[in-house]
Structure 1
């Protein structure tokens, strides 16, 4: 499959060359990686370029509200056991960014691609993936993202009859409903901490029953499928019942769940669980997430949390009280400008931590913390917050653009 057995047309080659030139100019001007603008230019010159670039690759698509960047990295590491991989590892996950990434991988065997939830159906149509991983769906970017049930419907329609093997989280009813239109699904019990977007049945609107880890609709009979892969503590259970230990440098239950789904994807391509999981250990940080950095003679751990489900998982992996916590929230275009989601986050989980609040929307967050009876201080910026923190490692939790601001400030 690999290599250039089916060379690009002259038009496609021109589009790739022009896209790379524009991306290089954007980088030289200090405007980021240039992958998005480069991809836009390339697609303008050849609207079918994404499909042409994907035709010689075994493509894996990864989509979810939370965890897709990390899972994409884990799958890419695992599949390198079977051949060269091209991936949009920096998270540019809309068609332009994906096109840019694939343009750089002409000798690759596998394309491991993170896809924004809203674009999954279109990218799947263009790239003819061998496998699609669906991890979760929850509320995010409330001002411009479709309501979760609509996103699930979009997936369900877009994937109906797909030839791809769908690797799907059987613990998320929205994901199960979306994947159920596909003829070839591998179910993974990856867990679901955040349940507040799946209390009504996506199939009929009835009330979902949730005894223990199970779920079903009492009205139409829609229910949790039986998994063939499962996360069980610190192990992945494969379809034969063998338990494989998960050793990650990435923290928390959510990343073990990501590893379980990644092992199931790798097995689709013939990479055994032991090999896949050993390779995943190489991943230390993902685009700065989970990095521990030195700043003003302090250790700061940088954690990204973009929506209520993400904040819930992040609270479960911070150091216990009295570890100081800095929270930073913006509401710029890439974050979504509606901050009402802050009221869906259970900030009582931070009780006992000294809390310091920064970011464009620090006052929105301050009101929310006040109502949650948390003790906090509002600070002007990261420098002031760090100076006010008591001793010990500092946990810094930020949403998307706030996280990028932090990385620039600490030189990461």
Structure 2
């Protein structure tokens, strides 16, 4: 792969910076290394992405999971550059590409707000749009504004195949602008951000697995569809997912991953077999031992994500809920009032995290009996021996993953 001298020098400087960061114990180094590389060569993302087949994955929820699924599928063909650490802003993307300079394929999860710029730089062969819902209002802004920005971006990508979830109304509106769209019917149930038509503002009529507006905007006919564990391909063949990851959301992610993999040349049955090897996503769904407890770790970051996570909790198992509000989580916790915590009634529930008081107020209004613990690990220890489900938002989850294996 031919890379200009300036790009090679900036990549080398970034790697050195990352090494210093790791050596000093300041972090894994990928983000700061990518940031230095970008500062020295602002065109480095375009240059590192050229001569590769690039797949971008974006959406409010499921980016990390779906990107890993597509990566695992494409590894059947050759080496794949992948930002598996979840660093999905430009500096993280640069670090991932620089780490695998010879990989002919790249699968990059991208923060929704950066998709227009990143897509113009790397000109992806395929772009997967999973879902769009409210998330970190203090950083991302209003989700309908994001949909309009993505719609404009897709209209300027004539060679990119956009693989889109046609059961998400905002996704459909954005992806309809693409020159080449592949529609996947996932049956996703979250509609809390799409009660009104994004085109005319009129009411959306939901009927069974379809939706429409009086203005003529309606659900496209999918060429891929998910029903239970089976994905039906454009040729009418049924592929059994048989995932080791729980829940409808992961099956929906897998259906979109199969469609993306086929666009790049991996047959659906081959891709599905490789998806079955995935047991956890950066610690999510992992079960760890903590003295007297068996603890399953779950991540949920916004109302749509919490809705899916609450559905897969074991009904008879105590639950620890941990909430922080650091910059990476979003400072605005108003989303707590859009989560159906009433599903936790009748269970043993412990609240913890930096914003446990806000969470406790929400649970009081949901009529969920609970008690508080100052620290997530102490919250686990306060429960009787046996299984524990712990659901945490981003930084609370990240800290737990770092602590529990060594506890």
Q: Does 1:171 align with 2:173?
A: no
Counterpart for residue 249 of structure 1? 244
Counterpart for residue 106 of structure 2? 111
Q: Does 1:192 align with 2:188?
A: yes
- What do residues 203-238 of structure 1 show as CA deviations (whole Å, max 9, x unaligned)? 1111111111211112x1100000000111011110
Once residues 403 and 216 of structure 2 are traced to their aligned partners in structure 1, the CA distance between those partners, rounded to angstroms, is: 52
Once residues 410 and 344 of structure 1 are traced to their aligned partners in structure 2, the CA distance between those partners, rounded to angstroms, is: 29
Counterpart for residue 206 of structure 1? 202
Q: Does 1:51 align with 2:27?
A: no
Q: Does 1:83 align with 2:75?
A: no
Q: Give yes or no for contact 2:188–2:252 (8 Å, CA) kept in 1.
A: no
- What is the Cα deviation at residue 191 of structure 1? 2.4
Once residues 94 and 234 of structure 1 are traced to their aligned partners in structure 2, the CA distance between those partners, rounded to angstroms, is: 33
Q: Which runs of 4+ in 1 moved over 2 A?
A: none
> Which of 337, 341, 359 pairs up with 2:335?
341
Q: What TM-score results when the alignment is normalised by the length of structure 2?
A: 0.98
> Which of 286, 306, 319 pairs up with 1:311?
306
Once residues 67 and 372 of structure 2 are traced to their aligned partners in structure 1, the CA distance between those partners, rounded to angstroms, is: 36
Counterpart for residue 131 of structure 2? 136
> Which of 373, 381, 385 pairs up with 2:367?
373
Q: Give yes or no for contact 1:118–1:151 (8 Å, CA) kept in 2.
A: yes
- What is the Cα deviation at residue 392 of structure 1? 2.7
Once residues 318 and 263 of structure 1 are traced to their aligned partners in structure 2, the CA distance between those partners, rounded to angstroms, is: 26
> Which of 55, 59, 67 pairs up with 1:64?
59
* SS of the residue 1:60 aligns to: strand
Once residues 257 and 368 of structure 1 are traced to their aligned partners in structure 2, the CA distance between those partners, rounded to angstroms, is: 30
- What is the Cα deviation at residue 352 of structure 1? 2.3
Q: Does 1:398 align with 2:392?
A: yes
- What do residues 62-86 of structure 1 show as CA deviations (whole Å, max 9, x unaligned)? 0000000000000000011111111
- What do residues 113-170 of structure 1 show as CA deviations (whole Å, max 9, x unaligned)? 0000000010000001000000000011121212110000010011104110000000
Once residues 191 and 57 of structure 1 are traced to their aligned partners in structure 2, the CA distance between those partners, rounded to angstroms, is: 33
Q: Give yes or no for contact 1:193–1:312 (8 Å, CA) kept in 2.
A: no
- What is the Cα deviation at residue 295 of structure 1? 1.2
Q: Give yes or no for contact 1:193–1:309 (8 Å, CA) kept in 2.
A: no
- What is the Cα deviation at residue 383 of structure 1? 3.1
- What is the Cα deviation at residue 391 of structure 1? 3.6
Q: Does 1:287 align with 2:282?
A: yes
Counterpart for residue 235 of structure 1? 230
**Which blocks of at least 5 consecutive residues in structure 1 are unaligned?**
none
Once residues 191 and 409 of structure 1 are traced to their aligned partners in structure 2, the CA distance between those partners, rounded to angstroms, is: 36
Once residues 238 and 275 of structure 2 are traced to their aligned partners in structure 1, the CA distance between those partners, rounded to angstroms, is: 16
Q: Does 1:327 align with 2:321?
A: yes
> Which of 119, 124, 129 pairs up with 1:124?
119
- What do residues 33-63 of structure 1 show as CA deviations (whole Å, max 9, x unaligned)? 1111101100111100000000021000000
Q: Give yes or no for contact 1:12–1:49 (8 Å, CA) kept in 2.
A: yes
Once residues 137 and 194 of structure 2 are traced to their aligned partners in structure 1, the CA distance between those partners, rounded to angstroms, is: 16
Counterpart for residue 354 of structure 1? 348
Give me the CA root mean square deviation: 1.0
Counterpart for residue 357 of structure 2? 363
Once residues 145 and 381 of structure 1 are traced to their aligned partners in structure 2, the CA distance between those partners, rounded to angstroms, is: 29
Once residues 396 and 159 of structure 1 are traced to their aligned partners in structure 2, the CA distance between those partners, rounded to angstroms, is: 38
